[in-house]
Structure 1
């Protein structure tokens, strides 16, 4: 054999090895992707072909002109284009199972929430430069110069614009307006404080909850787990109702909605209070939680602490108190909603040591290999909130979201919506769209969406019996969805 021939054969062999090795690596990676174990039926494959044609067109347009790729653009600027996206319209039709992470006073679309400010009996006052809202019936009860909102509106054509600015984070220049994460969180928590008094009025709370259920149901979400607490409420006769009565209102409203929508699976509440408190206050929280759970065991799913992690108390401050009840309840801790390393993110360590059932956000989780190991070992659900993480300044370009790593490695993730009221979102479809287009590979397909739908139930707090029933319902909804897509696109 001549040297030249030997070199040619050697080069050919090396190239063959390269391509074989490349295909093996790609195949191994694909086998770890979320949903990779799902085998599509013939009809599902036809639907998948439709979806992928839509995805490839949008993805490749963004590849050629990155300035147009919507997951890389701030949601305040991309929302209108998302609503025109054919992928988004497809995702709206997908049965999304459950929403497992949202907060009780920020779940409704902004438009619907704002419309509720037209309810009878709502007053506003300028309290030394701080505008406040409250419902009064039969006279006001403090020295502020309260006026009906209808009077404010009649006398000031710009009042609705002013009120809007108090109830939303949406601005023309989010980067310039919110200089850092503390700035946007300050405004964010201020909005919660501003709207909170509205929920003291029972009729407002009822109408709000009913519309929340309607919006999620319309978005093909059939079950909700909601972070929230229960305070006193009052009616138009100024009758005061205690926290247990407020919890009953949630149940009654849910039952009322299900009478008209019998395929809606229901709601559960994760009792959630501020993490920026003393240990004495935490004792009170825990006592109140057990009182509520004893009275409404089917409604109360577990316990969580909420608020900005960076400026709140870490879980370790309450470790003794929480560990003492860990075998008596389920935890669903917010943890790792931070960009810091070796500080706030240590809540992730504490959450798994306290045997949390799910982790809210888990944005910093890739900095903690032992947490990643335990999450897979114990099958702990990870609640990813794409839009929330972008709007609240953890990540600008959602292609860089930690969810891309978690999805690529088949971690037990669910896609959730957090607080859609305050950034102009609605239901789950916007977050699902951002995750599917920005956090999955170009060839990530229908199997990912199907796995996300099933995960939303598998990692819920439903009992085994209720879970079996919910999966049966989801299977039927999924089959109907497949047929609908085939009829619509073919």
Structure 2
């Protein structure tokens, strides 16, 4: 458009105004879209739909202030515990103010702990006396039951233990079948203690064929029989998926497990120590957390790793895997999930949830005011 003189200026001003309005209108639309997407992601995140009370909001503000401060300091020093091997990072974690708060938090239950395998994995009984006397699996389960009952007498808030009978999947199918029959027998005799059966190790849950026995015990190779363990576990009606490290590689399987409300048991420190992932910020479960996939946090082998309790694993999840956006809602959801997805009876779950709520409220009051 050519503008020859003052008589054309009104047209020029109108054109410029139209262009400016179009620009600002477009920018406003972009900002609205951006805000909508960020809000949508916030709601999708694990715990994103929880509504916090006034006290919880106060506690969350304090917790997140400490978290962001520690993360900004890590960006300057490049010293960030979740990015380091746990054996090197443990003393740094223990100096964290965030960790000290997480130690106070009632985390309810650990749903995956390897304490003692009741199957005959090593060719003999696992429990024996110094005199040489050996005890069978039934004696072991009964002893666990009696010790737990005595502990409850002095610790009334302790809800108890559940035992998952296990064996190693590298064994002959006939041996595994016998272990399953043993587990079923123990379940019949101790219905409130024995919760289920698990096959340990990274090999196939179906009958093992010789060509597959040389496959390493990891889920690095997508498409192998090991990689398909998750699918087979779902077909066998599992109620939880241990580790589920390869779940993010299988979108259809992931959607199926989500639809069935089957959580994965995330054991971050175990995954790192066993070299499945080095920097926990890059843990594949980060994607699942961002989309709200059901999950619980466990420590797997805490005694071996020197990670007593669940606080260390919760720290790694909260600071590393969850990134800057994981807040008190995430922690609260994870705590409640450990009750929801446990093998407790519904009456036990309701009782335990009430006990946890009282402890949670006290924790929130302490964080918000002290």
What TM-score do you get using the length of structure 1 for normalisation? 0.68
1:400 aligns with 2:294: no
Structure 1 CA distance for aligned equivalents of residues 345 and 188 of structure 2: 17
How far did residue 238 of structure 1 move? Answer: 4.7
The answer for unaligned runs of 5 or more in structure 1 is 107-192, 201-230, 319-335
The structure 1 residue matched to 2:293, chosen from 411, 434, 439, is 411
Q: Is the 8 A contact 2:230 2:247 kept in 1?
A: yes
The structure 2 residue matched to 1:448, chosen from 316, 327, 330, is 330
Structure 2 CA distance for aligned equivalents of residues 102 and 232 of structure 1: 17
Structure 1 CA distance for aligned equivalents of residues 19 and 136 of structure 2: 86
Aligned residues: 347
Q: Is the 8 A contact 2:281 2:323 kept in 1?
A: no
How far did residue 237 of structure 1 move? Answer: 5.2
Structure with larger Rg:
2
1:272 aligns with 2:198: no
SS of the residue corresponding to residue 99 of structure 1 reads coil
SS of the residue corresponding to residue 150 of structure 2 reads helix
Pairs within 5 Å for 1:345-356: 345-356=227-238
1:297 aligns with 2:197: no
Q: Is the 8 A contact 1:52 1:443 kept in 2?
A: no
The answer to which structure has the higher strand fraction is 1
Structure 2 CA distance for aligned equivalents of residues 337 and 427 of structure 1: 25
Instruction: Name the CA shift for 1:85/1:371 in 2 (closer, same or farther; >3 Å).
Output: same
Instruction: Name the CA shift for 1:337/1:48 in 2 (closer, same or farther; >3 Å).
Output: farther
Partner of 2:129: 235
CA-to-partner distance for each residue in 1:261-287, whole Å, 9 max, x for gaps?
A: 111111001111111111111121112
The structure 2 residue matched to 1:259, chosen from 132, 153, 163, is 153
1:45 aligns with 2:25: no
Q: Is the 8 A contact 1:337 1:364 kept in 2?
A: no
CA-to-partner distance for each residue in 1:355-385, whole Å, 9 max, x for gaps?
A: 1100000011111111111111100011001
How far did residue 337 of structure 1 move? Answer: 5.7
Partner of 1:26: 38
Q: Is the 8 A contact 1:99 1:416 kept in 2?
A: yes
Partner of 1:378: 260
The answer for unaligned runs of 5 or more in structure 2 is 1-10, 209-216
Partner of 1:342: 223
Partner of 2:4: none
Structure 2 CA distance for aligned equivalents of residues 356 and 18 of structure 1: 45
Instruction: Name the CA shift for 1:236/1:73 in 2 (closer, same or farther; >3 Å).
Output: closer
SS of the residue corresponding to residue 266 of structure 1 reads coil
What TM-score do you get using the length of structure 2 for normalisation? 0.89
Structure 1 CA distance for aligned equivalents of residues 36 and 342 of structure 2: 35
Instruction: Name the CA shift for 1:64/1:17 in 2 (closer, same or farther; >3 Å).
Output: farther
